[in-house]
Amino acid sequence: MDQTYKQCIRFPFKAKVIEWQEPGTIVLQGDVLNVHAISDFDEKYGILVNTRFGRKKVVFPLLDLEPTHMNEKQKQILEDYGEWFINSR
């Protein structure tokens, strides 16, 4: 099996919100979250992750996040997931 598929995402990691968010929500585009774990899967939003924004716990779609400090292989896994999810709809 190719090494790329054996590579895993290491938690926690920091990620920036790259998608526009509704005004008045806790988290807005450009904010940086601490991503701690996978929470669930939603048919509309894909993988949901447990994050922290300051002291607040927020469940957030992984597709709306861009990791800020991750190696290239790990980033590629997340990009591949995003492409797969969007194309599988």
Per-residue pLDDT of the chain (89 residues; tens, 9 = 90+): 344 444 578 899 999 999 999 888 999 999 999 999 999 999 999 999 999 999 999 999 999 999 998 989 888 999 999 999 999 98
* Domain map (residue ranges) of the chain: 3-87
Q: Which residues pair with 35 in a beta bridge?
A: 13, 51
Q: Do the Cβ atoms of 18 and 64 come closer than 8 Å?
A: yes
**pTM of the predicted structure, to 2 decimals:** 0.86
| Domain at 3-87, CATH from 2.30.30.530, 3.30.70.260, 2.60.290.11, 3.30.360.10 | 2.30.30.530
Residue at token pair 């996040």: 65
Q: What DSSP string runs through 19-77?
A: S---TTSSS-TT-EEEEEEEEEEETTTEEEEEEEETTEEEEEEGGGEEESS--HHHHHH
pLDDT of residue 10: 87
